[in-house]
Amino acid sequence: MRALSVWALERIGEIADGDDLVAIIAEAAAAEPLADGDILVVTSKIVSKAEGRFLRADDREDAIASETVRIVAERTWPSGSRTRIVESRLGIIAAAAGVDASNTPEGTVLLLPADPDASARALADGLRRATGAEVGVIVSDTLGRAWRDGQIDAAIGAGGVHVFEDLRGQTDAQGRPLVVTQPCVADELASAADLVKRKASGCPVAVIRGRADLVGPLDLPGARSIIRPAERDMFHTGADEAYAAGLAAGSAADER
């Protein structure tokens, strides 16, 4: 029987700049010692806090602009609120470039980790040394999805974990060849972990046991490899933005 166990670690308090996340997580996991093949999913917010990714910003919109490489889509709603889907410096396409103003000191916002893959690898390395267990680490963040309401947690950093389960070249149950099947298991694990971490429970770390086959060397490709390169991006721009660009291009052609 195949089984997967997922549980949240308790007794992880408020994280501050400079805190030793390895020691904090290892202590919280002591009640149920980590084992070879366990995968820890760590909410990016506590990684950012420990790394001091606070930014003094009275205006969150200015902070979002500073982290934005490209605006993918932007809408102003009848209420006057504005939504910006942007590509951040990390290459992640998300609302507000991942800039977080919740649960931060007054007058500050929290940015995503500077290098989530490096953060995940450092945590995995530290936890392996501290516990003696060969574990993997995923750093997760909340993302929306095109065409679907609601949000899920997805992997933005990975250390010692295969982010894809490549089934291409194998066959299905009827013997048909699998040509494009490549589940993004890192995102699946991040979402599974969020079912027990939840958003307001104060449990920012979860342990997943039962997929030891996904744990490997620390130098495995990280979550950055999940981001689709521009030449294969079929949804580069929002619908209104694409329409406006096409209209402008057509007008320019007519003028010529």
Token pair in block for residue 53: 């990714």
Residue type (1 letter), 139:
V
| pLDDT tens-digit series, residues 14-39 | 999 999 999 999 999 998 999 999 99
| pLDDT tens-digit series, residues 101-124 | 887 888 889 999 999 999 999 999
What is the fold, at CATH topology level, of the domain defined by 5-53+112-255?
60s Ribosomal Protein L30; Chain: A; (3.30.1330)
Contacts of range 140-148, beta carbons closer than 8 Å, 24 or more positions apart: 140/41, 140/42, 140/43, 140/44, 140/190, 140/193, 140/194, 141/43, 141/44, 141/92, 141/94, 141/98, 141/112, 142/194, 142/199, 143/92, 143/94, 144/85, 144/94, 144/95, 146/235
**Whole-angstrom distance, CA of residue 14 vs CA of residue 164:** 32
| Cα of 239 vs its chain's centroid, Å | 25
pLDDT at 182: 80
What is the residue-wise DSSP string for 73-116?
Answer: EEEE-TTS-EEEEEEETTS-EEEGGG-B-TTS-TTEEEPPPS-H
On average, the pLDDT of the chain sits at 90
**Whole-angstrom distance, CA of residue 122 vs CA of residue 112:** 16
| pLDDT tens-digit series, residues 177-236 | 666 668 899 999 999 999 999 776 779 999 999 999 999 999 999 999 999 988 888 888
Domain ranges of the chain: 5-53+112-255
β-partners of residue 159 are 137
pLDDT at 25: 97
**DSSP tag of 222:** -
Token pair in block for residue 16: 């501050």
**Whole-angstrom distance, CA of residue 41 vs CA of residue 19:** 18
Count of alpha carbons within 13 Å of 165, Cβ hemisphere only?
Answer: 12
| Cα of 236 vs its chain's centroid, Å | 19
**Whole-angstrom distance, CA of residue 153 vs CA of residue 191:** 5
Its pTM stands at: 0.91
Query: If pLDDT is split at 50, 70 and 90, which confidence band does 130 have?
Result: very high
